[in-house]
Homo-oligomer: A and B are copies of this chain.
């Protein structure tokens, strides 16, 4: 545990967040807690008017086998939250369903503070945990903490559309940073910041970096710790705040091994001895940005959406005390605390599971998504000829039409359809199409189309939809540079995002077969083979 405290970063706050004042009702709460005080001050509805008496939850046990290949019944445990168990119990329903401080449940926050200390390991001592409604709410509050209209925000070259849809109407502008299969490239980040005065004279240098470090949406990339260190140091040098939006952190996976090299399909993660799971899981996770953050310039957005269900609308910030205090002021007048049901249910549940149980559950999630990642990658390997990428292609593999891999060994680069990497985290495989091989591409370019890559990408997307396969096209993740201004692509490059998180194995197989058929036809390989 580090003993150094966070540094003063108050100059990053925008006018709005500086101007917020605490509610006068705050003072009232202090007086209310004096012994013997009779309060006719609070406007609290009477708890007899909450029509709920008891809630009984049947919850999985932490080691419930949720792997899709499991045939075992899930074991369950019972948890109860009742109205009047005891007035001092934080989660009796009279309290959970009442108005409370916008910081939410103290005891839940303490549990999460301890969890953050053990798992995310901030590199300074006075970090805070503050509940929010999930990372969409978290990012909204971060942008409204730091950004003025017109500000530039550092973003990934392919970025989560809802994060842009927040700030674009505020008149903010995205500054994309180039990525490879390991996430944004430190040199590219430094270059943008170093040359800012020349490239954008008279404008304020960006002071906020939005980043999804694990299983990035949409590219699936996970930033290795060495690269995180380089990025962090650049942000220190140029005084940039990092917003680490990390919903997939616990969905990190071991490296993918193609079926032909794999010993056995089962036991993807051989550890079953509970006593070593804590260490095994933590060792397998790439350290967070907050774990490198000796200054307190990282705001981590943590969520229960991927680990307990998005409908909880519950997550938390890990950040320095100044930012946390300003975020509370914003919550007081916008959202208040997260829903009492979500807080009470998740808290009772975590207390029943305890730290060790929650870690065991997260370990099970890792297995679930590893198996699903392998399903999708195995299917790509079986429906295409997949070869290791030659030099110059920024992914692990290239995919050629089935039966073409051997014939084209001499120069596979000239005939591949797409390149990809097997992700080490998250829910997505990102496929980079090689349009330079596509028979229609030169024609579209010659027609003077402003965005020829996106035009053809959309055409192929519609071909897939006609064959009843829905992917998300790369254009959805294209950075917003300003009003009606989108980034242009490198020549001949298009993308699709494939999610392996939800569909059955059977439908995934049908889907990848449809993709192979459409790609072969679209690129003209179907005719070649006949």
Interface stretch (choices A176-184, A186-194, A196-204, A506-514): A506-514
Take A162-B23, A333-B140 as given contacts and tell me if A59 and B51 are in contact as well, using a CB distance cutoff of 8 Å. yes
| A275 CB–B CB distance under 8 Å | no
Residues of B within 8 A of A171 (CB): 19
- Chain A contact-residue range equals 35 or more
| A276 CB–B CB distance under 8 Å | no
| A170 CB–B CB distance under 8 Å | yes
| A24 CB–B CB distance under 8 Å | yes
- Listed from nearest, the 5 A-B pairs whose CB atoms lie closest are A311-B340, A97-B309, A19-B169, A97-B311, A339-B339
A109 to chain B, nearest CB (A): 16
Are A46 and B169 in contact, CB atoms less than 8 angstroms apart? no
| A372 CB–B CB distance under 8 Å | yes
Take A97-B309, A310-B97 as given contacts and tell me if A64 and B51 are in contact as well, using a CB distance cutoff of 8 Å. yes
Take A165-B20, A468-B36 as given contacts and tell me if A53 and B41 are in contact as well, using a CB distance cutoff of 8 Å. no
Are A37 and B341 in contact, CB atoms less than 8 angstroms apart? no
Interface positions of A (Cβ within 8 A of B):
16-17, 19-21, 23-25, 28, 31-32, 34, 36-60, 64, 66, 68, 74, 76, 93, 96-100, 133-134, 136-137, 140, 161-162, 165-166, 168-171, 217, 305-314, 332-345, 349, 361, 365, 368-369, 372, 376, 427-428, 465, 468-472, 475-476, 497-503, 507-508, 510-511, 514
Residues of B within 8 A of A28 (CB): 470, 472
Are A48 and B24 in contact, CB atoms less than 8 angstroms apart? no
Take A53-B60, A136-B333 as given contacts and tell me if A503 and B40 are in contact as well, using a CB distance cutoff of 8 Å. yes
Between A and B, 20 residue pairs with Cβ closer than 8 Å are A17-B169, A24-B161, A25-B161, A36-B468, A39-B503, A40-B500, A40-B508, A41-B499, A45-B310, A48-B368, A50-B309, A53-B58, A55-B57, A56-B57, A100-B311, A133-B133, A134-B336, A137-B336, A309-B340, A342-B342
Bound together, the chains give a CA A204 to CA B166 distance in angstroms of: 27
Are B217 and A40 in contact, CB atoms less than 8 angstroms apart? no
Are B345 and A341 in contact, CB atoms less than 8 angstroms apart? yes
Residues of B within 8 A of A37 (CB): 465, 468-470
Residues of B within 8 A of A507 (CB): 38
Residues of B within 8 A of A333 (CB): 136, 140, 162, 165-166
CB-based nearest B residue for A343: B311
State the number of copies, please. 2
Take A310-B99, A335-B133 as given contacts and tell me if A165 and B23 are in contact as well, using a CB distance cutoff of 8 Å. yes
CB-based nearest B residue for A512: B40
Take A313-B340, A368-B46 as given contacts and tell me if A54 and B51 are in contact as well, using a CB distance cutoff of 8 Å. no
Residues of B within 8 A of A31 (CB): 465, 470
